[in-house]
Chain A
Amino acid sequence: MSEPVKPKRPRGRARVVAGKCAACGARCQSACPVDCIEMTDAGEPLVTADKCIGCLKCVKVCPAGALEMFFTPEEEKILAQLAGTALPEVDEEELERRRRIDPYRGVWVFVEQNDGEPARVSWELMGSGRQLADSLDVELFAVIIGSNVGHLAQEAFCYGADCAYVLDQPVFARYRTEPYLEAMCYLVDKYKPEVVLMGATGMGRDLAGAVATRVKTGLTADCTGLGIDDKRNLMQTRPAFGGNIMATIMCDKFRPQMATVRPHVMPLPERNPAATGLVLPEGFDISEAAIFSRVLEVITDKSGKDRVDVAGAEFIVSGGRGLMAKENFAILEELAGELGAVVGGSRSAVDAGWLPPDRQVGQTGKTVRPKIYIACGISGAIQHLVGMQDSDVIIAINRDPEAPIFEVATFGIVGDLFDVVPALTMRIRELKQARA
């Protein structure tokens, strides 16, 4: 009187979807538990179907959707018969994951400061952190470490923080990796945040890399987009391969999920001077004798007052190879003068010695987000685009209608910048005189 034997659910086998592999670095091969994937010289997988056990690991790990499962016609038939019956859903791995990450709650933003002066990127991150905290329905914490930095807590509340951990001790007067690392790890260990954000600045990157290694969690650099998925995981989007593609990075098995964001990538939230929050003073014992580095001197960039801040400018007139010579930047300076803009440039302009390196916009230079960015004689290499594509309005002036800069431009003029730019300057000057 035994029941009829149920056919076993076929698991299928993995195969490569032609043309989709991105040669990500053999993730599928590493994921395969039965070694049935070999890599070609081009970095693409070859699946030995006989050995495949249909575990789906390679399919799940592939970032490009280049692997799929396939079934023989007989297997398809069995699948059709089984359709409607419930799938077995006991995933030990998933339960273990939840147990591990569950104690972690809250979103943190590390408030970077130098001599008590906060870095603007910290407040930009407070805006992103606020959104994440709201999606997760948790509180947003500012983490303030330094000496005589108590005033920053109120500032953090104005930009959206609910609470602020404050570690205010002389030993933190100047940023050094060791004491800040120890302090951050102490706080992370004690309060277990689920997300930690830091600015992708010299200091932020120095600290974030150290903290993530110590607490053995994932860290995603230079994020341009942050969001929360349906399982409370942080979706971290960033440019990859020099900005040629975008990648969404997950750190779903570990907490905290750490990310850095470059200055001017996120908009500065509106400051609410009436906001209040909860100050949580913290103490952490670390003696000077245990620290093996000392800051002997801080040299602020020479001529402090006429230093031009491209990254913070509201209007930027930028020049590239099309300017042909250093002297020709004078016509950009004239237009910039009328607009109250700052002159920046592409890497070619800087490499040619036409502009100082601190004016360089792009991946190896500054990321900018002005109200108007005017690109003159810049073809728009991807490395340049990733540094300015978030500007509110982009104006491209270039002789080559095929130049990639037109792909990101709000308004484009296909023409000779030596004709167009002076005409623009003249027109704006006329308008100003007419109004005066």
Chain B
Amino acid sequence: MLVVACIKQVPDTTQVQIDPVTNTLIRDGIPFIVNPYDSHALEESLRLKDSNGFTAVALSMGPPNAEATLRKALALGVDRSILLSDRVFGGADTLSTSNVLAAAIQRLAEQDEIGIVFCGKQTIDGDTAQVGPGIAVRLGFTQLTLVDRIEKLDLAKKTVTVRRKLEGRYEIVEARLPAMITVVRELNRPRYPTVPMRLASAKAQVEVWNNEVLKLDVNSVGLKGSPTWVSRIFSPQRTEGEILGDGMRDPVGAALLLVDRLLEEDLLAV
């Protein structure tokens, strides 16, 4: 049985900065990382490999340089790493991204039965949380989002029981396999690659599937298959605030000024 982890290579958005003159992103030297939530998805697929003998497959759609991310997955212990890369996949929104990923999973399903597809709950660059549900709906898999614990996996009955983390509550849900599960960080603690695995992964093969392999209608992938598009990007507008007093030399005076201002503007009820 297969367990698939969908992972994405993303720019480390915590290190992105804006050029104050041109108002564009300064991209030079920004490192690419595995989307942090996806590393938990990857870890969970490796745990199923260890505990239940599943074959673990890492899957990523991206430009050719995303191979680095898939190589890391091999170093961590996945059995296969597959990069879905083609010019026609470029410029995709979440709808056309899930189309490509689902088609790849469908193709894997022709070779072996799929048990679970794991995705991170969202990416840190897009923040949409839409690709996981997109894959589930396209494949007809049970959809379980925001999972922070796998309670039980019953392969005889083909069910999985998970705990979902929602606002102010948890839900214990039992569902039929195959399932698409999106994971939160509390689910597990990702492992580190061992030195021998890392060395072995340098020589291992990352498979690359382009659209000649997936044979999707070019109008359903990439930019052409994306109903949404970005019409404008701009820097967030901010109004200049007011610095009160000299807080370094006279902190008490500055505090008094602040309270006075809040009272003046009727913001404080005392």
Shortest Cβ distance from residue A88 to the other chain B in the assembled complex, whole angstroms: 25
- Total CB contacts across the A-B interface at under 8 A: 308
The answer to whether A25 touches B130, judged by C-beta atoms less than 8 angstroms apart, is no
Contact flags B110-131 to A (C-beta < 8 A → 1, else 0)? 0000000000000011111111
Residues of chain B in range 190-243 having any CB-CB distance to chain A below 8 Å: 222-224, 226-236, 238, 240-243
Q: In the complex where A29-B90, A298-B170, A427-B255 touch, is A24 in contact with B230 (Cβ < 8 A)?
A: yes
Contact flags A345-380 to B (C-beta < 8 A → 1, else 0)? 000000000000000000100000001100000000
Instruction: For B91, list chain A residues within 8 Å (CB).
Output: 24-27, 29-31, 61
Interface centre among A114, A293, A382, by most chain B C-beta atoms within 10 angstroms, is A293
The answer to whether A244 touches B25, judged by C-beta atoms less than 8 angstroms apart, is yes
Among candidates A244, A295, A413, residue contacting B255 with C-beta atoms closer than 8 Å: A413
Q: In the complex where A213-B138, A219-B130 touch, is A294 in contact with B228 (Cβ < 8 A)?
A: no
Interface centre among A30, A210, A307, by most chain B C-beta atoms within 10 angstroms, is A30
Among candidates B143, B229, B246, B263, residue contacting A206 with C-beta atoms closer than 8 Å: B143
Instruction: For A432, list chain B residues within 8 Å (CB).
Output: 270
Among candidates B172, B226, B231, B247, residue contacting A297 with C-beta atoms closer than 8 Å: B172
Q: Which residue of A lies closest to B146 (CB)?
A: A202
* A324, CB-defined interface residue at 8 Å: no
The answer to whether B229 touches A250, judged by C-beta atoms less than 8 angstroms apart, is yes
Residues of chain A in range 192-251 having any CB-CB distance to chain B below 8 Å: 201-203, 205-206, 208-210, 212-214, 216-222, 235, 239-251
Interface window among A15-23, A47-55, A67-75:
A15-23
Instruction: For A419, list chain B residues within 8 Å (CB).
Output: 247, 251-252
The answer to whether B169 touches A210, judged by C-beta atoms less than 8 angstroms apart, is no
Contact flags A267-309 to B (C-beta < 8 A → 1, else 0)? 0000000000000000000000000111111111100000100
* B256, CB-defined interface residue at 8 Å: yes
**CA separation between A135 and B93, bound complex, in Å?**
27
The answer to whether A209 touches B233, judged by C-beta atoms less than 8 angstroms apart, is no
The answer to whether B169 touches A242, judged by C-beta atoms less than 8 angstroms apart, is no
Residues of chain A in range 377-418 having any CB-CB distance to chain B below 8 Å: 381-383, 389, 392-397, 399, 401, 406-416
Q: In the complex where A64-B233, A408-B241 touch, is A221 in contact with B227 (Cβ < 8 A)?
A: no
Q: Which residue of B lies closest to A206 (CB)?
A: B145
**CA separation between A241 and B24, bound complex, in Å?**
11
* B132, CB-defined interface residue at 8 Å: yes
**CA separation between A167 and B111, bound complex, in Å?**
42
**CA separation between A30 and B248, bound complex, in Å?**
55
**CA separation between A396 and B267, bound complex, in Å?**
16
* A177, CB-defined interface residue at 8 Å: yes
The answer to whether B228 touches A296, judged by C-beta atoms less than 8 angstroms apart, is no
Shortest Cβ distance from residue B99 to the other chain A in the assembled complex, whole angstroms: 9
The answer to whether B128 touches A241, judged by C-beta atoms less than 8 angstroms apart, is no
> Chain A binding site: helix, strand, loop or mixed by DSSP?
mixed
Instruction: For A209, list chain B residues within 8 Å (CB).
Output: 94, 128-134, 137
Q: Which residue of B lies closest to A406 (CB)?
A: B241
Shortest Cβ distance from residue A233 to the other chain B in the assembled complex, whole angstroms: 9
The answer to whether B161 touches A296, judged by C-beta atoms less than 8 angstroms apart, is yes
The answer to whether A249 touches B228, judged by C-beta atoms less than 8 angstroms apart, is yes
Q: Which residue of A lies closest to B90 (CB)?
A: A26
The answer to whether A423 touches B252, judged by C-beta atoms less than 8 angstroms apart, is yes
Instruction: For B14, list chain A residues within 8 Å (CB).
Output: 242, 381, 383
* B171, CB-defined interface residue at 8 Å: yes
The answer to whether A420 touches B255, judged by C-beta atoms less than 8 angstroms apart, is yes
Shortest Cβ distance from residue B91 to the other chain A in the assembled complex, whole angstroms: 4
The answer to whether A19 touches B129, judged by C-beta atoms less than 8 angstroms apart, is no
Instruction: For B98, list chain A residues within 8 Å (CB).
Output: 213
Q: In the complex where A293-B174, A428-B270 touch, is A205 in contact with B233 (Cβ < 8 A)?
A: no
Q: In the complex where A30-B90, A202-B145, A213-B138 touch, is A241 in contact with B13 (Cβ < 8 A)?
A: yes
Instruction: For A104, list chain B residues within 8 Å (CB).
Output: none
The answer to whether B133 touches A213, judged by C-beta atoms less than 8 angstroms apart, is yes
**CA separation between A414 and B249, bound complex, in Å?**
10
**CA separation between A220 and B94, bound complex, in Å?**
9
Instruction: For B173, list chain A residues within 8 Å (CB).
Output: 176, 293-296
Q: Which residue of A lies closest to B236 (CB)?
A: A246
* A435, CB-defined interface residue at 8 Å: yes
Shortest Cβ distance from residue A173 to the other chain B in the assembled complex, whole angstroms: 13
The answer to whether B22 touches A301, judged by C-beta atoms less than 8 angstroms apart, is no
Shortest Cβ distance from residue A138 to the other chain B in the assembled complex, whole angstroms: 21
* B142, CB-defined interface residue at 8 Å: yes
**CA separation between A192 and B247, bound complex, in Å?**
58
Instruction: For A406, list chain B residues within 8 Å (CB).
Output: 241, 243
- Contact residue range for chain A? 35 or more
**CA separation between A240 and B11, bound complex, in Å?**
12
**CA separation between A206 and B246, bound complex, in Å?**
49
Shortest Cβ distance from residue B89 to the other chain A in the assembled complex, whole angstroms: 9
* A63, CB-defined interface residue at 8 Å: yes
Q: In the complex where A30-B223, A213-B137, A412-B243 touch, is A395 in contact with B258 (Cβ < 8 A)?
A: yes
The answer to whether B229 touches A420, judged by C-beta atoms less than 8 angstroms apart, is no
Q: Which residue of B lies closest to A200 (CB)?
A: B129
Instruction: For A219, list chain B residues within 8 Å (CB).
Output: 94-95, 128, 130, 228
Shortest Cβ distance from residue B107 to the other chain A in the assembled complex, whole angstroms: 19
**CA separation between A383 and B232, bound complex, in Å?**
21
* A105, CB-defined interface residue at 8 Å: no
Q: In the complex where A397-B247, A420-B254 touch, is A300 in contact with B233 (Cβ < 8 A)?
A: no
The answer to whether A235 touches B231, judged by C-beta atoms less than 8 angstroms apart, is yes
Instruction: For B227, list chain A residues within 8 Å (CB).
Output: 216-218, 251, 253-254
* B167, CB-defined interface residue at 8 Å: yes
Shortest Cβ distance from residue A332 to the other chain B in the assembled complex, whole angstroms: 14
Please list 25 pairs of residues, one from A and one from B, whose beta carbons are closer than 8 Å in the complex, sorted by A's number. A22-B233, A30-B223, A42-B28, A177-B136, A206-B146, A209-B131, A209-B137, A212-B94, A213-B134, A216-B227, A219-B95, A221-B126, A221-B127, A221-B130, A241-B25, A244-B16, A247-B230, A251-B228, A293-B144, A307-B168, A414-B246, A419-B247, A419-B251, A423-B252, A423-B254
The interface of chain B, by Cβ under 8 A from chain A, is: 11, 13-14, 16-18, 22, 24-25, 27-28, 63, 87-88, 90-95, 98, 124-134, 136-138, 142-146, 161, 164-176, 222-224, 226-236, 238, 240-248, 251-252, 254-256, 258-259, 261-263, 265, 267-268, 270
The 5 A-B residue pairs with the shortest CB-CB distance, nearest first, are A415-B247, A242-B13, A209-B133, A218-B227, A419-B251
